Amino acid sequence: MSDLDEDLLALAAGDDGDDDNLVSSKKRGRNDNVGSKKRRVLNEYSDDEDEEDDYNPGTEYYYENDNEGADEGQEEENPYPLEGKYKNEEDKNTIENMPEMDRETLLFERLQEMQKYQERKLLRERAKNIRAQQQQRQMENDGVKVRSSGRSTRTTGHSDVRDSKLSELRKQRAKKSKNYDYSASENDESDRSDDYADSDNEDDYDPYYEKGNHYSEDDEVKWAEEDMDREPVLDDFNKIKIGRSYVSKFCFYPDFNERVQGCYGRVNIGIDKHSGHPMYRMVKIEKVFLQKPYNMGKLFTNQYFGVTQGKDRKVFQMNFFSDGAITQPEYERYMAQLAKHDINKPSLYNLNNKAKDLNNFVSQPLTPKLTDEIVRNRLQFNKKLTGTNAVLEKSVLKDKLQYARDTGNQKDIAKYSSQLKHLEKRMSSYEKHHENDQTGSKKLGVLTSKNRKVNMDKIKHAETAKKEDTNTIDAKTDPFSRLKTRTKIYYQEIQKEENEKAMELAKQKQLQKDQESQVTKEEEFLNAKFRRLGGLEELISGLKFKIKFDH
C-alpha cells in the first residue's frame, strides 16, 4: 500500500467520527501525513536521487527545530579573536618569529578557517531568524484557530474538508510525476485555497507545509539572488580596482598578467590647466604588454597595461596608476563613454566573480615553487650582475665546468655550459642596459649645448642682418631733406703701417750708430793700453769693487 493510499484511509477514517473528534482527527491526519512524508523523503533519497520533488521544506523545519533548539544556547567561539588571525599575544609573537614560508602558510590556513566560521555564524543567525518568524506565525495561526474552531465546525461539513485534502493530495501526486497541467478552474481553485482562504476552511491551514514551501521557493532564492538583479555601482568597480602598490607587490607573480585582465584602474593623464590639479581617468585593463624595461620605483620591469575607455585604447606604464579610489565624476565619465559607443556595462555577476578571483590570487600560500618563480621573474631585470659577485659566480661556474670536463661527465658539462652562457648573456644585457641609462644624461647634455650654440648663431646672424639693413641708404629719399651721413676715417690702417715702418727704421739707425761708436772706443782703448795714461785711468775708473766696512 502506497503512502497516498494511507493518507486517503486516514481521511476516510476521520469522516466516521463525530463533531467533537473533528479537530483531533485532523491533527492526527496531518501528523500521519508529515510522518509519511518524512519516511518517503528518507527512502527515496537512499534509493533514487532523481525523485527529489517529494521534498517538503516544511518537514525540514521539524528537524531543525529539534536539533537547533537544543544547540541554541551553544554559540561557537571565535577561534582567532585577535585581529582575526591570532589566538592571543603569545600566539602572535610565536607566529611572527616563524620563518616567512611557514608563517604565510599558517596565516592562509587560518584565514580560510575564519571564512568558514563567518559563514557558519551567518547561517546560524539566519536560521534563528527564520525559526523566530515561524514561531510567531504559528502562534498567530493557533490563536485564529482557537477563535474560529467552533464556527468552522458548525459551518464546514465533512465533504468540504475531504475535498480540500484530496485536492492537495492530487497536486502533490501531479508534481511528483511532473506532468501536472494547471487549468483555469484549477488555478482559480488553488488561488482561493492557498492565498485567499475563507473562514470556512481555516482549520485546514497547515503553517509548516505552506510556509515551508514559501520560504524554500521565494525567500531563499531571493536571498541568494537579490543582489544579482541590481545594476552595478561605483563600489562594485572599486572592489576590482588596482593601483601602484598592488602592482609593485604582485607584478612578479607568475599568473599576474592573466589575473589583472578585466580589472579597472585610475590612470594619471596630466595636470588640469585651470585648477592645477592632476587629472585621472577610469580605465579597464584589457591586456599586459611586454616592452622596453623601465624603472618602477625601486624595481625594473617590462610590463605595460593596455587599457580602454569606450573604444579608445592606449598603453601606459604601471607606475602611472593611482592608489586612490575611483571618484564619482570619473565613474560617470567612463559610463558615458560606454553609452556613447554602444558598449554594454559589465554585469554585477562578472564583477563579483572577478573580485573573488583577485582575492584568491592575493591570498594564495607562498609555496617553495611559487617563491622560486617570483624570485626568477624579479631577477630578470633587477639582479646586480656587475662587480665582484658576478666575477666570483662566473669563476665558480668555470671551475665546475672544467672539473666536469676532466671527469667526463657529459650531463654536468651541458648543465654548467648552459649556466655559464646564460650568465654571460645576462651580464652583457645588464651592462648594456645600465650603460644606456648612464649615457642618457650625457647625450642630453651634448644635445643641449648643441642647441644652445645653434641658437646663438641664429641670434648673431639676425643681428648682423639687422645692422646691414640699417646701414643701407634708400636711393629714393627726399632730395630736399637733410642728408644723414656718418663720419669715417679713411687710410687709418695705412697711416698706422707707415708709422710703424718709420719707427722701425729709426730704431735700426740708432742701433747701428751705437754699434759703430762701441767699435771705435774699443779700438782706441787697444791702441792706448800702455801708451796713454788717460786710457789706463779710464779703464781703472770703469772697474767695480765691492768693499764692506765693519763698524
Q: What's 287's DSSP letter?
A: E
In this structure, what C-alpha cell is assigned to residue 469? 639693413
User: b/e map of 32-61 (b: 16 or more CB within 10 Å)?
Assistant: bbbebbeebbeebeeeeeebeebebbbbbb
First to last CA, the chain: 166
pLDDT of residue 298: 75
- Residues of the chain scoring pLDDT < 70: 1-74, 144-166, 169-229, 382-392, 429-441, 470-484, 486-492, 525-539, 549-551
pLDDT of residue 477: 56
| Interval 189-239: pLDDT, tens | 444 444 433 434 434 434 334 334 444 444 444 444 445 668 889 999 999
User: Quick one: which of 235, 244, 260 has its CA closest to 362?
Assistant: 260
pLDDT of residue 305: 94
- DSSP per-residue codes, 211-275: HHHHIIIIIHHHHHHTTTTSPP-HHHHHTTB--HHHHHHHTTSTTHHHHTTT-EEEEEEEE-TTT
User: Quick one: which of 230, 301, 307 has its CA closest to 262?
Assistant: 307
- DSSP per-residue codes, 120-184: HHHHHHHHHHHHHHHHHHHHHHHHHHHHHHHHHHHH--HHHHHHHHHHHHHHHHHHHHT-----H
Instruction: Classify residue 275 as exposed, middle or buried by CB count within 10 Å of its CB (0-12, 13-18, 19+).
Output: exposed
* CA contacts within 13 A on the Cβ side of 265: 28
In this structure, what C-alpha cell is assigned to residue 372? 622560486
pLDDT of residue 144: 57
Q: Left if phi > 0, otherwise alpha if psi is -120 to 50, otherwise beta: which for 86?
A: beta
- Which residues face 303 on adjacent strands? 290
CA-CA-CA-CA torsion sign (194, 195, 200, 205): positive
How far is residue 386's CA from residue 431's CA, in Å, rounded to a whole number? 7
- Which residues face 316 on adjacent strands? 305
With a CB cutoff of 8 Å and minimum separation 6, the contacts of 311 are 341, 343
pLDDT of residue 181: 42
How far is residue 278's CA from residue 280's CA, in Å, rounded to a whole number? 7
One-letter identity of residue 369: K
User: b/e map of 158-190 (b: 16 or more CB within 10 Å)?
Assistant: eeebeebbeebbebbeeeeeeeeeeeeeeeebe
| Interval 74-129: pLDDT, tens | 677 888 888 888 888 888 888 888 888 888 888 888 888 888 888 888 888 888 88
| Angle formed at CA 205 by CA 201 and CA 209, multiple of 5 degrees | 155
Q: Answer whether 240's CB lies under 8 Å from 264's CB.
A: yes
| Angle formed at CA 175 by CA 169 and CA 178, multiple of 5 degrees | 145
| Angle formed at CA 122 by CA 117 and CA 127, multiple of 5 degrees | 125
How far is residue 27's CA from residue 23's CA, in Å, rounded to a whole number? 6
Task: Calculate helix-pair angle for 57-70, 100-155, nearest 10 degrees.
Answer: 120
